Amino acid sequence: MIAEEKLKILTESARYDVSCSSSGSGRKNEGGIGNGMPDGCCHSFTPDGRCVSLLKLLMSNDCIFDCKYCMSRRSHDVPRATATPEEICSLTVDFYKRNYIEGLFLSSAVHVSPDATMELLVRTVKLLRTKYRFHGYVHLKGIPNADPLLVSEGAKYADRMSYNLELPSERSLKLLAPQKSKESLLSPMLRLCRERALFQAEKRKGFFLPAGQTTQMIVGASPERDGCILRLTESLYRTAGLKRVYYSSYAPVVEDALLPSVPSPALREHRLYQADWLLRFYGFDVEELVDEGEDLPLDIDPKCAWALRNMHLFPVEVNRAPLEMLLRVPGIGARSAQKILSARRYTALTFDHLKKMRVVLKRARHFITANGQFCGEEHAPALRCLLAAGDAAEAADAPEQLSLFAAGEHTPVQLPLFAQDAARSARTGEL
Amino acid sequence: MIYFFDGSKEAFLTAFLLAYRDGEALLTAGEKQLSIGQKSVFVRADPAMAAKCERRLLELDKRCMDDLSFLLRSGEGMRGQTAFLYLRLIAQRGRPVRGELAEDAVSEATECIRRIKLEAHRLKGFVRFLECASGALYAPVSPVNDVCDLLLPHFRGRLGHIPFVLHDVPRGKAAVWDGAHAFLAPLQHAEIVLSSDEAGWQALWRRYYNAVTLPSRARLKQMKGYMPVRYWKFLPEDPAAAIGDLPAADASANAGGASANAECAAGRALHAPSDAPSDAPSDTLPVKGRAPSPQAARDALPPPHGSPRPPAAPAHP
Ligand code: SF4
């Protein structure tokens, strides 16, 4: 059994990784323990509102790199620990058996050398899959500058891998993470994407990252604007086939002259997630949401902001508007849109009907008519104030990572654009 | 007229036929206070009537019995009535009414089914197994709706050869996988002898849970939205205590949920500090035939975390 103190150190250093998703794997239990649950599963929630799905650990926090923003960087004085593969494996299996977790998220600082670290990670996952016969979820972190062959070997045993971009531009990386480069992070991502496509095309036996790849960016440690971040995000979805991009608000955990001394507001991160959601599931292009050198407005959500810029398109009649347009109505999320589509087949919907169907009208009423009736505010400046006031209350407890259970507005829906995988995406929030 | 029935499908379908033309009918499997002058009847299942009713309804909507089987799992007081109004509308219209959400009966039933499925889904995450000395796993649960057996295939799939028991404590029944067969059985009180490592793993898990929390960001409303307090009592990570570790301003608003434990022995076994008197030796947990003993209950106890507190008291008065 791993020592409590070691577990504490390795967990505390891993907790700034936002991703905890366990979706996308349909692995079967073949005579051992565990299987994949394609929609993922949350096992607990911590007081910071985040879901606990995976056992998220560093193999080691003893780093030879010196990224300015990181607790585990070489020049920072913290207690160090390194776990053994056996310790990680038995911890995973015993937690899993008790239904504490859905699987393992194994990351590591660069310990000794990139290759040595990657080798240790791969050895651990292999051991877990073979000796321990564990078929639950495994998310493995890629180590920058490690031998590509080692990385590909890991991909055969993990369900998902991720390289964290951390900073949205080469310049910021140079400044804050001098041993990393965009190249050292992007090229393994693209290589894995190509290898995975090949694996699928040739219908080979076994597995190769069935749950794909994700990445994470720190927001607010460097000067890039939301417009720039979201353009990078969109291209990652389109060219590197990523399932998700996570954003993590910068928090000053270490002091450095190059870093801001105040944390980035959680609200900014929340707006980025909302915009990201609009890109993936609501059919928006980044051009519609924000200019490259601009930030998203903080006082209202990006969908409201877009609607206010496009008032000539509203109000739309709920009994006739196509799904794509319903989804663009502020306040109408995927579930409400589906309810409306279903109910209007039988009767002409009025505001009373919508209320009864529990469609939230607080924002939507300004942008729709129901059976010809309109009961919103038409005057644009007054409307903006109304929307901002309503939003302020909700944003106070903004979710930083939208979960499967998040209701209404956050639940993606089946869009014709993504016909094939849409049903799964609608449940998991991933492409 | 109020039609009481025992909650079973047959009794419901019998009552359905009796109540169908009664404009004032109210079907209930729960308790209902009668007002003065109100008439009531207790309907016993009549297999012939029930079969006839089922056949007829299936002709009108071949999926309606699936809906009914969910609706009767509901733990809400109105479960009989929600199902009655929904099926009566099918009968009146002579066709399926699924999706006609502008109808009260349909939207009520749809919501009810959604809540039941959501609970089953949530429990796939929130069930916690205790490992017994025999190697079998035991999980006490206390769901709002009768969903235990819906979870069987899920855990069977992942646990493979390991036997397990899902014990619905308030309903006094269990869904069991013995390694080869799955079945349902009545189970009032369970006595178990825990494996020697169990307390150690629980302590590690608690340590993990506390370490993974970002202390700078308390978002308790969100936490409780995703993981309602009613599910906390069997969680070894003890979220109530974790909230207690946060700065007082955040915790004070939330002390309400902190006393969730101690409704049944298993809850006490998980959360009571080890020096607390074991006041319920005879209803601690089983798996296979060991005599109940206070020792078993004490074996189940994790080492105390933080200062000891009485099991039923809120962590933060
Ligand atoms: S590589 Fe950089 S970010 Fe990663 S652990 Fe080391 S210092 Fe931290």
- Whether residues B10 and B109 share a domain: the answer is yes
- Whether residues A192 and A304 share a domain: the answer is no
Query: Which range (A294-298, B221-225, B306-310) has the least confidence?
Result: B306-310
Mean pLDDT of B53-65: 97
Q: What pLDDT was estimated at residue B216?
A: 75
Q: Does B157 sit within 8 Å of A7, measured CB to CB?
A: no
User: In which band, very low, low, confident or very high, does the pLDDT at B127 lie, cut at 50, 70 and 90?
Assistant: very high
Triad A244, A248, A250: Cα angle to 5° = 160
Whether residue A410 is contained in a domain is answered as no
- Whether residues A303 and A211 share a domain: the answer is no
Mean pLDDT, each 10-residue run in order, chain A (431 residues): 93 87 90 92 94 96 92 93 97 98 97 96 98 97 95 97 92 91 91 95 92 94 94 92 92 85 89 94 93 93 94 95 95 92 93 92 94 89 86 58 32 35 54 62
- Whether residues B20 and B86 share a domain: the answer is yes
- Which residue, among A305, A327, A303, A306, has the nearest Cα to A316 in the 3D structure? A327
Say how far apart CA B192 and CA B181 lie, in whole Å.
Answer: 21
Say how far apart CA A164 and CA A151 lie, in whole Å.
Answer: 15
Please name the residues between 189 and 248 in chain A that touch chain B, using a CB distance below 8 Å. none
Say how far apart CA A411 and CA A425 lie, in whole Å.
Answer: 10
User: In chain B, what is the greatest distance between 2 CA atoms, to the nearest angstrom?
Assistant: 64
Write the CB contacts of A211 (distance below 8 Å, at least 6 apart in sequence).
Answer: A23, A24, A25, A36, A137, A139, A159, A160, A243
Q: Which two tokens stand for residue B54?
A: 């089922």
CB A275 within 8 A of CB A302: yes
Whether residue B293 is contained in a domain is answered as yes
How many angstroms is it from A339 CA to the middle of ligand 1?
Answer: 47
Whether residue A123 is contained in a domain is answered as yes
- Whether residues B154 and B50 share a domain: the answer is no
Q: Is the pLDDT of residue B299 over 70?
A: no
CATH of the domain at A139: 3.20.20
Q: Does A43 sit within 8 Å of B222, measured CB to CB?
A: no
Give the residue, B30 or B247, on which the prediction is more confident.
Answer: B30
What one-letter code names the amino acid at B306? Answer: G
Say how far apart CA A124 and CA A88 lie, in whole Å.
Answer: 7
Going from the C-alpha of B239 to that of each of A131, A379, B251, B259, the distances in angstroms are 34, 47, 11, 11
Structural domain span for residue A182: 4-215
How many angstroms is it from A143 CA to the middle of ligand 1?
Answer: 10
What one-letter code names the amino acid at B153? Answer: P
HSE at residue A334, side-chain half, CA atoms within 13 A, is 21
Q: Is the pLDDT of residue B294 over 60?
A: no
- Whether residues A184 and A311 share a domain: the answer is no
- pTM of this prediction? 0.83
Say how far apart CA A44 and CA A34 lie, in whole Å.
Answer: 18
Nearest CA in chain A to B138: A98
Q: What is the DSSP letter of A220?
A: S
- Which residue, among B240, B230, B231, has the nearest Cα to B209 in the 3D structure? B240
CB B303 within 8 A of CB B199: yes
Give the residue, A400 or B22, on which the prediction is more confident.
Answer: B22
- Which one of A200, A215, A230 terminates a domain? A215
- Whether residues B175 and B205 share a domain: the answer is no
* CB A72 less than 6 A from any atom of ligand 1: yes
Give the pLDDT confidence of A394-424 residue by residue, as tens digits: 655 444 433 332 322 333 333 333 333 444 5
Whether residue A153 is contained in a domain is answered as yes
How many angstroms is it from A232 CA to the middle of ligand 1?
Answer: 22
Say how far apart CA A71 and CA A202 lie, in whole Å.
Answer: 43
Tell me the three state secondary structure of residue A60. Answer: strand
- Which one of A171, A195, A215 terminates a domain? A215
What one-letter code names the amino acid at B83? Answer: A
The tally of domains found in chain B comes to 3
- Whether residues B145 and B210 share a domain: the answer is no
- Whether residues B113 and B140 share a domain: the answer is no
* CB A73 less than 6 A from any atom of ligand 1: yes
Indicate which atom in ligand 1 lies nearest the CA of residue A13.
5
- Whether residues B164 and B247 share a domain: the answer is no
Q: Is the pLDDT of residue B159 over 60?
A: yes
Contact residues, chain B, for A403 at CB < 8 Å: 226
Mean pLDDT of B56-71: 97
How many angstroms is it from A81 CA to the middle of ligand 1?
Answer: 14
Q: Describe the strand order of the beta sheet including B40-42 as a list of residue ranges.
A: B26-28, B2-4, B40-42
- Whether residues A179 and A82 share a domain: the answer is yes
Residue nearest to atom 5 of ligand 1 (CA): A109
HSE at residue B105, side-chain half, CA atoms within 13 A, is 17
Whether residue A230 is contained in a domain is answered as no
Burial (CB < 10 A; 0-12, 13-18, 19+), residue A117, is buried
- Whether residues B132 and B93 share a domain: the answer is no
Q: What pLDDT was estimated at residue B310?
A: 29
CB B89 within 8 A of CB B106: yes
- Whether residues B270 and B174 share a domain: the answer is no
Three-state SS annotation for chain B: CEEECCCCHHHHHHHHHHHCCCCCCEEECCCCCCCCCCCEEECCCCHHHHHHHHHHHHHHCCCHHHHHHHHCCCCCCCHHHHHHHHHHHHHHHCCCCCCCCCCHHHHHHHHHHHHHHHHHHHHHHHCCCEEECCCCEEEEECCCCCCHHHHHHHHHHHHCCCCEEEEECCCCEEEEECCCCEEEEECCCCCCCECCCHHHHHHHHHHHHHHHCCCCCCCHHHHHHHCCHHHHHHCCCCHHHHHHCCCHHHHHCCHHHHHCCCCCHHHHHHHCCCCCCCCCHHHCCCCCCCCCCHHHHHHCCCCCCCCCCCCCCCCCC
Whether residue A353 is contained in a domain is answered as yes
Structural domain span for residue B164: 128-186
- Which one of A190, A215, A240 terminates a domain? A215
CB B88 within 8 A of CB B20: yes
Whether residue B32 is contained in a domain is answered as yes
**Cβ neighbours, 10 Å, residue A231:** 18
Whether residue A119 is contained in a domain is answered as yes
- Whether residues B235 and B166 share a domain: the answer is no
Say how far apart CA A372 and CA A363 lie, in whole Å.
Answer: 18
Whether residue A71 is contained in a domain is answered as yes
Q: What pLDDT was estimated at residue A350?
A: 95
**How many Å is the Cα radius of gyration of chain A?**
23
- Which one of B186, B208, B233 terminates a domain? B186
- Whether residues B176 and B239 share a domain: the answer is no
What one-letter code names the amino acid at A100? Answer: Y
Say how far apart CA A358 and CA A372 lie, in whole Å.
Answer: 20
Phi, psi dihedrals of residue B139, rounded to the nearest 5°: -130, 120
Whether residue A235 is contained in a domain is answered as no
Q: What pLDDT was estimated at residue A431?
A: 62
Beta-bridged to residue A82, according to DSSP, are: A60
Q: Does residue A55 belong to the interface with chain B, where contact is any CB pair within 8 Å?
A: yes
Say how far apart CA A107 and CA A88 lie, in whole Å.
Answer: 11
Q: What pLDDT was estimated at residue A430?
A: 65
The tally of domains found in chain A comes to 2
- Whether residues A174 and A39 share a domain: the answer is yes
Give the pLDDT confidence of B258-293 residue by residue, as tens digits: 333 323 334 333 443 333 333 333 333 333 333 333
Q: Is the pLDDT of residue B102 over 80?
A: yes
Question: Which element (helix H / strand E) includes A216?
Answer: strand A213-219
- Whether residues B244 and B281 share a domain: the answer is yes
Q: What pLDDT was estimated at residue B219?
A: 87
- Which residue, among A239, A218, A243, has the nearest Cα to A161 in the 3D structure? A243
Say how far apart CA A133 and CA A129 lie, in whole Å.
Answer: 5
What one-letter code names the amino acid at A154? Answer: G
Going from the C-alpha of B158 to that of each of A30, A136, A138, the distances in angstroms are 9, 8, 15
Say how far apart CA A419 and CA A430 lie, in whole Å.
Answer: 14
Say how far apart CA A224 and CA A294 lie, in whole Å.
Answer: 9
Q: Which two tokens stand for residue A170?
A: 């080469």
Give the residue, A395 or B72, on which the prediction is more confident.
Answer: B72
CB B304 within 8 A of CB B274: yes
Residue among A62, A67, A118 whose CB has most ligand 1 atoms within 8 A, to mutate: A67
Mean pLDDT of B173-196: 94
Residue nearest to atom 2 of ligand 1 (CA): A67
**ipTM of model:** 0.86
* CB A117 less than 6 A from any atom of ligand 1: no
